[in-house]
Homo-oligomer: A and B are copies of this chain.
Amino acid sequence: MKHKDAYTVAVLGATGAVGRRMVETLERRNFPVGELRALASPRSAGTRLAFRGAEVEVQAVSEAAFAGVDIALFSAGASTSLEWAPRAVRQGAVVIDNSSAYRMDPDVPLVVPEVNAQAALGHSGVIANPNCSTIQLMVALHPLRRFGLEHVSISTYQAVSGMGQTAVDALRQEIERGDGEPTVFPVVHQDRHVPMAWNVIPQCDVFVDAGYTKEEMKLVWESKKILDLPGLKVSPTAVRVPVLYGHAESVAVRFQRPVTPGQVREILQSAPGVVVMDDPSRAQYPYPRMAEGTGETFVGRIRQDLWDDHTVLMFIVADNLLKGAAYNAVQIAEVLVNPAQA
């Protein structure tokens, strides 16, 4: 991308849970925005968003709205991305897409800047932002690849905000109202719904194949692509919990050789984007409430498997709307405008 002092940045889906955080993150990280175009469906046009002390009015998305845009951050669902990304690219924008639409397209880079920033520079107009639960796993695993990543067993504890603002409101209402017919969880467009209040639901997104959900298979497919390790084995279980913000992951990593928790701790302590919080004697470990509002990935409960000196267990937490979505997308934009950091 040609260097400029300030860039025209569009956010599509600007009124959604992730879109709002994209706008906030652009401001907080002092991204060189010349003009911000907040875009959404016609239904949300006219909404006003705060940006750098002023108000930006949300416009209905149109091809013309992308004219002159340098970078377009998309977070409006896969079908919207498939419809609008080619048009935005035709107008000269680079699209950073938070949906699943392009993630597994071999011509589209799938980027976690701490892992494969360089890949972003090879884009052909679209760069994909990985799935939330994958991003934080990648930030913690990439620094450990020197030991040979062989197998990753993961059980997730995923916040409802991963399903959007509707789900956050629905969980609060379920808890406040007491019983009532559930209508939102685990998947809005599914015949059968399950209560989320005081519950955990072992289904995130729809079932795809062999008894696995799409969320689980994203962990498998996306991890291989981001780490560029086609032979990496990931065994996933994705579970929704009554948490508003922040995904947690219970992870067992098997390496090709013996590795101690001390080695893992030492490497992660100096790894980009990682904060090690790991002192059982002081009951110190990460949890969603402490990760809320941050861009880092927190790792704790680092310990040797009791039976296998090739395996280390850990607990990984990040804010799913920030590092898991908006923050990672803005980091990719930063790579584009400052390729020397890649």
Contact = CB atoms under 8 A, between A and B. Distances in A.
A283 B155 contact: no
A202 B285 contact: yes
A243 B307 contact: no
A106 B257 CA distance: 37
Interface string A264-308: 000000000000000011111111110000000000111111110
Interface string A55-94: 0000000000000000000000000000000000000000
B235 A301 contact: no
A157 interface: yes
Contact of A252 (B190, B207, B235, B246): B235
Given A242-B242, A301-B202, A220 B306 contact: yes
A135 interface: no
Contacts of A302: 211
Contacts of A303: 210-212
A202 to B, nearest CB: 5
A132 to B, nearest CB: 15
Contacts of A288: 198-200
A281 B211 CA distance: 9
A319 to B, nearest CB: 13
A235 B203 contact: no
Contacts of A239: 157, 248, 250, 315
A29 interface: no
A233 B211 CA distance: 26
23 contacts: A157-B157, A191-B283, A194-B283, A194-B287, A198-B289, A199-B287, A200-B241, A200-B288, A202-B286, A202-B315, A207-B281, A210-B303, A211-B280, A211-B301, A211-B302, A211-B303, A211-B304, A237-B250, A239-B248, A239-B250, A239-B315, A241-B242, A242-B242
Interface of A: 151, 153, 155, 157, 175, 186-187, 190-192, 194-195, 198-203, 207, 210-212, 220, 233-235, 237, 239, 241-246, 248, 250, 252, 261, 280-289, 300-307, 311, 313, 315
